[in-house]
Structure 1
């Protein structure tokens, strides 16, 4: 008599489970390989192109008002003009969420002023202008003394700053957002006999520092 061998339902279920598990593993490794290839491709493009950070320079700054309205309250009005340049030959730059303000000896002396977002193509330059103002801004008790001392030396030094976020554009690919900070130093001379005469102006075209 011949013997008939048959697999139990339990044995079949175990084999089917192994098959499904192998399929999931294959799918996982395939997705991982595709994802790794995409990351490697993006990284390779990034290394080859190696985008340089944007360059900013101060073209003009004018102080129309900088006076105390109370013991520690400041009114200020400053007109700012910056030149922004994209030094990259193959990478464009989107500028987002731009904010400009002025500071003096570590104290912010104007409120944050928003600048419109814009796109800068390869090796393009753009002029940025902003009116920086402050009304009744609280300042340190030493503010009046510091300005008086600068008046004695015949010049006042301000920091003009721009903060924001940028995105790199390579072909149709656009990166995520990167925060950047621009700091420009403006040296302005007082009038004859060191008497403040509005506006105090700076035209020296100072190169600004940029951190990304």
Structure 2
């Protein structure tokens, strides 16, 4: 007598679940490999291009007003001109959310002034201008003393700063935003016989951090 062998429904279900599990595993490995290759290509492009930091230099700074009114309240007016250059020949730069201000002895002496966002192509340069103002800004009690001491020394040293965000552009790919900070030092002749406006045109190179 011949025997008829047949698979039970439990065996069929186990085989079907095994096939689905293999398919899901294969799909996961395929997608993982694809995204790994894409990330590796982007990383290699980044390493090859390795964008250099933007370069900034101070072209001119003019102080039209810097005087205390009342107890440690400052009125200020400063005109700023910066030269900006993208040194990369294959990477463009988007500048976003730019804020400029002036500081003296660690104290901010103007309000933040917004600069319009812009794009800087390969090895392009731009001039940036800003009017920095402050009205009734509270200063520490030592502010007047520090200004008087610098007047006796014959020079006034200001920090002119720009903070913002930038994005690198390579072909059609645009990076995420990175914070960047620019710090320029301006040294101006300042003595008892010197009157406003004070001016600096020495073209100082600024430090940039990204």
TM-score per shorter chain, which class?
A: over 0.9
Question: C-alpha distance in 1, partners of 2:2/2:51?
Answer: 78
Question: C-alpha distance in 2, partners of 1:35/1:139?
Answer: 54
**Which residue number in structure 2 is paired with residue 131 of structure 1?**
131
**Which residue number in structure 1 is paired with residue 88 of structure 2?**
88
Match of 1:200 among 182, 187, 198: 198
**Which residue number in structure 2 is paired with residue 24 of structure 1?**
24
Unaligned 5+ segments in structure 1 are none
Does residue 55 (structure 1) correspond to residue 55 (structure 2)? The answer is yes
Q: Is the 8 A contact 1:169 1:175 kept in 2?
A: yes
TM-score, structure 2 normalization: 0.98
Which secondary structure does the structure 1 equivalent of 2:134 belong to? strand
Which secondary structure does the structure 1 equivalent of 2:69 belong to? strand
Q: Is the 8 A contact 1:151 1:195 kept in 2?
A: no
Q: CA deviation at 1:185?
A: 0.2
**Which residue number in structure 2 is paired with residue 177 of structure 1?**
177
**Which residue number in structure 2 is paired with residue 168 of structure 1?**
168
**Which residue number in structure 2 is paired with residue 210 of structure 1?**
208
Q: CA deviation at 1:195?
A: 3.2
Q: CA deviation at 1:69?
A: 1.1
After superposition, residues 143-162 of structure 1 pair within 5 angstroms as 143-162=143-162
Q: CA deviation at 1:154?
A: 0.7
Which secondary structure does the structure 2 equivalent of 1:53 belong to? coil
Deviation by residue 1:121-154 (Cα, 9 ceiling, x = unmatched): 1111000000000111111110000000000001
Unaligned 5+ segments in structure 2 are none
Q: CA deviation at 1:196?
A: 4.2
Question: Moved runs in structure 1, 4+ residues, more than 6 A?
Answer: none
